Amino acid sequence: MVATWLSREFGVEFPILGAPMGGRAGGALAGAVSAAGGLGLLGAARYNSPEWIEAEAAIARSVGGRFGVGLMTWSLPENELLLDAAIAVAPTMITLSFGDPARYVERVHAAGIPVVSQVNTLEDLRVVEAAGVDAVIAQGGEAGGHTGRIGTLPLLQEILDSTSLPVLAAGGIGTGRGLAAVLAAGGDGVMIGTALLASPETEGPEYARARVVDAGSADTVYTSVFDRARAQPWPQRWGGRAVTNEFTAAWHGVDVDEDTLATAYDPSDPNSGVVYAGEAVGLIHESRSAADVVARIGADAERLLSRFA
């Protein structure tokens, strides 16, 4: 596989990060991605606890050796203990995404841990560069979960042309073709989330894995309706991409208050509960182990890129 910043810095076999997916990526998933030759990240949601990070880090370490931890920058001021816990488990990297990480980068660096941020615009790039991050991930609007609005490919080109930092891409990458495209463009690797969501190592309800297998690439919506129904105070600029269901059909784009949405929302109902996932759902046709997903993407990309060797 082509040597990139990821392989040089961390010795990974494949330049693939397993996304820090709040509610879905715990130690079992992160460890499996790392064991397969990538680097898996724990996704600490704002409702997780420092104890959760500690426990899942132990699982990730025992399964895969190395792992990273991903936090949401905008929510850290209400609970900086999550950052302390992430530093304390000595991960390979910490991602601080969605917000200005300036207040936190030095603390992470003091522990010898690199900081990587997902960015959604050129303005975001300038903010995280000024904060002193070590690398960036251009996260396109086709990504699952919370994201921006610019597509992965235009954003990746813009970011690659505008920074000397290592650049990875996220959003819509689910096969070796996607990884090969990013590497050929000059990127240092990819972060995959959706491609892992049908794997048995993910946390979350069984219906979420089944829906990811069923859904096609046109079956997602960029919406804030689940944040409003679940009282998650995300800043307005980041919507979440989720698979459509009866709840989005009834409420996305409808002018109603949060109480009405909260009353209508039922996470135990597969037709209502949120399944955050990106347009890469159309590439997932069966439940495969995370190790198989990572190894296949890596090997297929290698084969495609060998045409240019």
Ligand X SMILES: Cc1cc2nc3c(=O)[nH]c(=O)nc-3n(C[C@H](O)[C@H](O)[C@H](O)COP(=O)(O)O)c2cc1C
Which residues lie near ligand X (CB under 6 A)? 19-22, 24, 43, 45, 70, 72, 95, 97, 118, 139, 143-145, 170-173, 191-195, 276-278, 280
Separation between Cα atoms, residue 304 and residue 56, nearest integer Å: 35
Rounded (10°) angle between helices 81-88 and 102-110: 30
Separation between Cα atoms, residue 99 and residue 156, nearest integer Å: 19
Q: Which is nearer to ligand X, 15 or 171 (CB)?
A: 171
Separation between Cα atoms, residue 91 and residue 96, nearest integer Å: 13
The runs of H, that is alpha helices, within the chain are: 5-10, 27-35, 50-64, 81-88, 102-110, 122-131, 152-160, 176-184, 206-214, 225-229, 246-251, 258-264, 290-306
Q: Which is nearer to ligand X, 298 or 307 (CB)?
A: 298
Separation between Cα atoms, residue 219 and residue 212, nearest integer Å: 10
CB of 26 to ligand X, least distance (A): 12
Separation between Cα atoms, residue 95 and residue 156, nearest integer Å: 18
Q: Which is nearer to ligand X, 72 or 261 (CB)?
A: 72
From the number of C-beta atoms within 10 Å of its C-beta (0-12, 13-18, 19+), residue 8 rates as: exposed
242, β-bridge pairs? 221, 276
Residue type present at position 12: V
CB of 178 to ligand X, least distance (A): 9
Q: Which is nearer to ligand X, 76 or 191 (CB)?
A: 191
Q: Which is nearer to ligand X, 15 or 43 (CB)?
A: 43
CB of 174 to ligand X, least distance (A): 7
Contacts of residue 269, defined as CB under 8 A and 6 or more positions apart, other chains included, come to: none
CB of 277 to ligand X, least distance (A): 5
- For residue 127 the two structure tokens come to 């903010």
Q: Which is nearer to ligand X, 18 or 37 (CB)?
A: 18
Q: Which is nearer to ligand X, 85 or 195 (CB)?
A: 195
CB of 197 to ligand X, least distance (A): 6
CB of 173 to ligand X, least distance (A): 6
CB of 13 to ligand X, least distance (A): 19
Separation between Cα atoms, residue 95 and residue 90, nearest integer Å: 13
CB of 192 to ligand X, least distance (A): 5
Question: Which 8-state DSSP code applies to residue 251?
Answer: H
| Closest residue to ligand X: CB criterion | 193
- For residue 144 the two structure tokens come to 């699952």
CB of 300 to ligand X, least distance (A): 16
Q: Which is nearer to ligand X, 259 or 292 (CB)?
A: 292
> CB of 213 within 8 A of CB of 43?
no
Q: Which is nearer to ligand X, 5 or 74 (CB)?
A: 74
